Structures are given as structure tokens and as C-alpha cells.
A and B are shown apart, each in its own frame.
Chain A
Amino acid sequence: MVLEATMICIDNSEWMRNGDYSPSRLQAQADAVNLICGAKTQSNPENTVGILTMAGKGVRVLATPTSDLGKILHCMHGLEIGGESNLAAGIQVAQLALKHRQNKNQQQRIIVFVGSPIKYDKKALETIGKKLKKNSVALDIVDFGEADDGKPEKLEALLAAVNNNDRSHIVHVPPGPNALSDVLISTPVFTGDGEGGSGFAAVAAAAAAAGGDFDFGVDPNLDPELALALRVSMEEERARQEAAAKRAAEEAARQEKGEAPQSSSQDAIVNASEKVADPMDEDDALLKQALAMSMDVAGSDSSHGDAEMSEANMEDQELALALQMSMQDSTNGSQSDIGRVLGDQSFMTSILSSLPGVDPNDPQVKDLLASLPDQSESQDKKNEEEPPKEDK
């Protein structure tokens, strides 16, 4: 909860067009800046943050230190890329802006993003660092982007010159799959001078790190509805696959030659539904469908449907599953997979009971469940439409 005035120096030089940090280096910086501003103002509401850009036509102060987050976010829009970043001038202007802060009780801090090559030599940077130290200004350096020879050493020298009492830090962020802001969240840039971290930073870090602990990357505490929906759809999918596999085995046992195209189409369907988990099966499925088509002398609609389905699967798996369902309804005489799944009363009961707001003991629900197993085909289709709506 240190009372602090911070100036953030953004690098908007030509080097920031590069996309090695998604979506582009400049955008990654903007996201990081937004998070930093939020963290600072949350850790102490009287903290102020200001922004300046170091490249473009020259060093330009976009916002003087203010606690108004909206103004800062507004400044981050319409940032233009161009020119070369002037690190020394940027830091000096930041120091000047901090000197004229309204609340002299605030500690001074500069956060500088260095993404382009540094044209100053080590000595000049050390002089700047000493001047900052003399005026009791802390400096956080975010080293990312271009990694030419000497850049890390120069920045380390600058940090050593500034550092007083470990109030200044440096973070090297290599390009990679993690977003710049995610990497920064766990560093002292966010968490402050090792005081134990502000609440914002701690929560954000926990969420980012713990996303992988939960089954679906979603914390049930944070978003229970999403977690529930994901769980339900996974269970449905699993049951559907099992039913399809069971049915394929049955049909293979019952019907040999005549049904061979059917069963292979079932295989294709099973493979198609497994595609959600395993993209490698796509090739196998396509191969099987091709075989099915060539073997299918009768030229039933199912093979054509399979071909259509396979194309759809490559593009949109959900659409493909829907196509499957409609295909099965039209081609298969017996109960479709969905009908079977939905006809399984115990499974339906468990699904419905896990849904919020649906009480399995409700008489209407009970009637519906009872009506499922003994239905004719037309009723099948009708009821299939209703439960999917309920489930969704």
C-alpha cells in the first residue's frame, strides 16, 4: 500500500509492429499498461499513474499522473507506431512529470518498456540511473522485443545505477506463447516492492496459474454456470460416444454385408464425434468414409450424407454433430443415438438433476422421462427436440 506516483514510458517505435508477442508488440504493451494501472490504483486509491510515449515525433506525455483510470485507458487508444524510441529523453521527461506531481508525499516510480535497440551507451545510461537514484526515483524496466547484443547488459547497468534498497526491478520477457501481461503479473512490477503483493496482483496471478488445475480451465467459484455447462456437455458427448460405439458393435454383430456400409458410416460417425478430442483421427475417418462410399453400391443417402458430414467436420464440429443427428433421424429406422441417449431414463435424470432450476421430482419432468422409452419414431423426433432445448 505504498503511496506512489508512477510514470509509464511506452515504446511505440517501428519495432513494435512485430507480431512475436500476440497480437502485436504494441498491443501487448497496451494490455500490460492497462493491467498495471489497475493494479496500482487498486493497491492504493490515491496512487496516480501517467503515460508517455518515447517514439513517434518525439517524447510526448499522453497523461500526467492521475488516478482516473478512464483517462488513462482512453489515452491508450489511437497509439501510433513510428519513429525511434528515445530512452534517455523519455526517462528524463518522466522524471520531470513526476517532479511536478500534485501530492508531494507520493514516492516516485518510472516503469519503462524497452522493446527496440538502445542507441545510448552504458555510460550515458549509468549517468541517468545515478540521477534517478539521487532524486529517490525508483525504476522498473521491462526488457522485451529486440534482443540485440548488449541490450540486456546495458539495462542491467542502468538498473544497478538506479537501484536503491531494491526498489527498482528489471524483467526480461522473451517472445513466446504467454502474453506479456501474463508474464508481468507475477513479477515485482505488479506486486510492488516485495510487500507481499497487492490483492489485485495476487488474485490475477492465482487465476492465471490455477486455470490449469480445474478440469476445464474455469474456476467453478468464479464462473459456476460456465463450468457447469462445460461439464454437462462433456458428459453428454461421452455418453453419445459410448452409445454410438455400442450401437456400432451391435449392428456389426447383427448385420454383415448389407449393413457394412452402415456400420462403417457409424464408424465414421463415431470417429467424427471423437474428432473433438483427437484431430489425428480425421485422416482415418476420411479414409473410412471414402471406403464406405466406394463400397456402398446401393448409393444410399447415408454415404452422401457422410461426405457432406466429413466436409462439415473439417470446418465446424458442432455443425457436424447437428448434421449427424439430422442424418440419423432421416436414414435410420431404429432409434437414433440421441434417442437412445435420451431414452436412457437414469442418465436423463442425472443430467436434469445437475441442471440448476430443474427438479427431477417435478411431475412434468417425471412425465417427460416416463414418456421417453416407449415412444414411436415420430414422438422420438419431437422429444429429441425438446430435451436438447432443455439441455442447452
Chain B
Amino acid sequence: MACLHDHNCEDHDCSSSWSLYKHIDLSKVSALNEAVSGSVKSVFRAWEQRLDSSGEHLASNEGDPELLVYVPFTTDVKIKSISVVGGADGTSPSKMRVFINRDGIDFSDAQSMQPVQEWDLVENLHGVLEYQTRYSKFQSVASITLHFPESFGGDTTQIHYIGFKGEATQLKRDVVATIVYELTPNPSDHKTRAESGGGLSHVE
């Protein structure tokens, strides 16, 4: 597929440099103010499919163009640039603010906190634009939160694709996650071989 970059793409394969989507922990991706719960997962695809708008896309609730997208990675990554493909008719986001390695951010936090970096976006319907990051700040990213406060005048904000360019370091960030202990035994979590093979005891 022809690449619209202004360089000669035969030297390298564009799609491989946008392959950070493979390192996204899709099950833990979440968004606030999305119209359809879970639709945020559909915007992380391969570079070649970035204009494939026939599938699902991420849309905010009617009358409220604000969106907050939380993206955790499976390994620490370094992000060089970000590409966002919005919707038509003014539903593209006009601003983007990102926060690194913080989870549980909601709208009031996002509005009051200083972002690591913010950009003014333009309508990027063909996905040719990328927004470069201050690379020194994006060296070991375990999770990134993108906040889109406004759109280009549309009632909602639509996002069809979000791409990250960079490299994966294959290192797992040392985070003491919330450790949850089992207070009461939950038999469904402890399926023994006996149960599947028809053991003597029967646990409901």
C-alpha cells in the first residue's frame, strides 16, 4: 500500500515502526465518556488498517466532546510520536493532553493536572500526520492517558485510530500493583484436575 509520507518508504517498512499497538494490554484499555462501552479497544490497529473506518470507532457521548483514554502497555515502551485519526464534520479532536504512568485519572484530575505534553491537533482524516513527543520524557512508558478536551465544533468527538510510534524495551516496569488477597475461597477460581476429570467431590 502506498505510503503518503514524503520520504522514500522503500528503505523501511512504515508499518513496523507503528507497531507499538502490539504491546498494548488491550484488556485493560478503558475510556471515560465513551458512548458505547468497550468501543475504545477498536481504535488500536495496525498501521495499514488505520483508515478502515467500517468497523467500530470511539465516539463520545452526545453533547459532550470530552474523552479520556487510558492505555496500559505490556512492557515499558519509548514513544516517539503519536498519530490520531478523527471523524469528519468537526468531530475530530482539536487538542490532546497526555499523562504518563498514572492510572485512575478521571476528568477532574485531567483538567486540573499539568500534562506531560499537549498538542493542538488538526483534522487528520487520512492519518498522514504524526505528532512528535519530547522523547526524553517518554522513555519508559508503562501506561499513557490521552485526554481530548474538545473537538472542532462537533457535538461529539469521534476517533477512528490511535497509533504509537516507538520501540518496546522488553522491560516490565516495577510497580507494586494493587495486591488483592483472597478473603474467602472462591471455588470457581480453583478448578482442580479432579473437577474436569470427574473427581469424587463436587464443588458448586
User: Does B178 lie within 8 Å of A134, measured CB to CB?
Assistant: no
Q: A102-B178, A103-B178 are in contact. Are A134 and B107 (CB under 8 A)?
A: yes
Q: How far is the CA of A105 from the CA of B33 in the complex (A)?
A: 17
| 9-residue interface stretch from B2-10, B45-53, B75-83, B180-188 | B180-188
Q: Which of A1, A102, A105, A165 has the most CB of B within 10 A?
A: A105
Q: What B residues does A1 contact at CB under 8 A?
A: 186
| B155 close to A (CB within 8 Å) | no
Q: What A residues does B108 contact at CB under 8 A?
A: 99
| B32 close to A (CB within 8 Å) | yes
Contact string against A for B residues 149-184, beta-carbon threshold 8 Å, 1 for contact and 0 otherwise = 000000000000000000000000000001010111
| B42 close to A (CB within 8 Å) | no
Contact string against A for B residues 5-34, beta-carbon threshold 8 Å, 1 for contact and 0 otherwise = 000000000000000000000000000110
| B114 close to A (CB within 8 Å) | no
User: Does B32 lie within 8 Å of A165, measured CB to CB?
Assistant: no
Q: What B residues does A46 contact at CB under 8 A?
A: 180, 183
| B61 close to A (CB within 8 Å) | yes
Closest chain B CB from A377 CB (angstroms): 60
Q: A134-B61, A164-B37 are in contact. Are A45 and B183 (CB under 8 A)?
A: yes
Q: What B residues does A164 contact at CB under 8 A?
A: 37
User: Does A45 lie within 8 Å of B182, measured CB to CB?
Assistant: yes
Closest chain B CB from A139 CB (angstroms): 16
Binding site secondary structure of chain A: loop
| A136 close to B (CB within 8 Å) | yes
Interface residues of A in 89-131 (CB under 8 A from B): 99, 102-105, 130
Contact string against B for A residues 139-154, beta-carbon threshold 8 Å, 1 for contact and 0 otherwise = 0000000000000000
| B118 close to A (CB within 8 Å) | no
| B103 close to A (CB within 8 Å) | yes
Q: A45-B183, A130-B64, A164-B37 are in contact. Are A136 and B178 (CB under 8 A)?
A: no
| A288 close to B (CB within 8 Å) | no
Q: What A residues does B104 contact at CB under 8 A?
A: 104
Q: How far is the CA of A46 from the CA of B186 in the complex (A)?
A: 12
User: Does A104 lie within 8 Å of B103, measured CB to CB?
Assistant: yes
User: Does A134 lie within 8 Å of B184, measured CB to CB?
Assistant: no
Q: How far is the CA of A46 from the CA of B182 in the complex (A)?
A: 8
| A328 close to B (CB within 8 Å) | no
| B123 close to A (CB within 8 Å) | no
Name the residue of chain A whose CB is nearest to the CB of B183: A45
Q: What A residues does B184 contact at CB under 8 A?
A: 45
| B106 close to A (CB within 8 Å) | yes
Q: How far is the CA of A136 from the CA of B36 in the complex (A)?
A: 12
- Contacting residue for B32 out of A102, A130, A134, CB 8 A: A134
User: Does A165 lie within 8 Å of B61, measured CB to CB?
Assistant: no
| A133 close to B (CB within 8 Å) | yes
- Contacting residue for A134 out of B37, B66, B180, B186, CB 8 A: B66
Closest chain A CB from B133 CB (angstroms): 25
Closest chain B CB from A132 CB (angstroms): 11
Q: What B residues does A165 contact at CB under 8 A?
A: 37
Q: How far is the CA of A136 from the CA of B66 in the complex (A)?
A: 13
Contact string against A for B residues 73-112, beta-carbon threshold 8 Å, 1 for contact and 0 otherwise = 0000000000000000000000000000001101110000
| A255 close to B (CB within 8 Å) | no
Name the residue of chain A whose CB is nearest to the CB of B184: A45
User: Does B178 lie within 8 Å of A104, measured CB to CB?
Assistant: yes
Contact string against A for B residues 60-75, beta-carbon threshold 8 Å, 1 for contact and 0 otherwise = 0100101000000000
Interface residues of B in 91-147 (CB under 8 A from A): 103-104, 106-108
Q: What B residues does A330 contact at CB under 8 A?
A: none
Q: What B residues does A136 contact at CB under 8 A?
A: 32
Q: What A residues does B180 contact at CB under 8 A?
A: 46, 103
User: Does B64 lie within 8 Å of A67, measured CB to CB?
Assistant: no
| A135 close to B (CB within 8 Å) | yes
Name the residue of chain B whose CB is nearest to the CB of A104: B104
Q: How far is the CA of A133 from the CA of B60 in the complex (A)?
A: 11
Q: What B residues does A135 contact at CB under 8 A?
A: 32, 106-107
User: Does A133 lie within 8 Å of B107, measured CB to CB?
Assistant: no
User: Does B183 lie within 8 Å of A133, measured CB to CB?
Assistant: no
Name the residue of chain B whose CB is nearest to the CB of A67: B183
Closest chain A CB from B111 CB (angstroms): 12
Name the residue of chain A whose CB is nearest to the CB of B109: A99
For the complex with contacts A45-B186, A135-B32, 10 further pairs of A-B residues with Cβ separation under 8 Å are: A1-B186, A99-B106, A99-B108, A102-B178, A130-B64, A133-B33, A134-B33, A134-B107, A164-B37, A165-B37
30 A-B residue pairings within 8 Å (CB atoms): A1-B186, A45-B182, A45-B183, A45-B184, A45-B186, A46-B180, A46-B183, A67-B183, A99-B106, A99-B108, A102-B178, A103-B178, A104-B103, A105-B178, A130-B61, A130-B64, A133-B33, A133-B61, A134-B32, A134-B33, A134-B61, A134-B64, A134-B66, A134-B107, A135-B32, A135-B106, A135-B107, A136-B32, A164-B37, A165-B37
By Cβ-Cβ distance, the 5 closest A-B pairs, closest first, are A104-B104, A45-B183, A134-B33, A45-B184, A103-B178
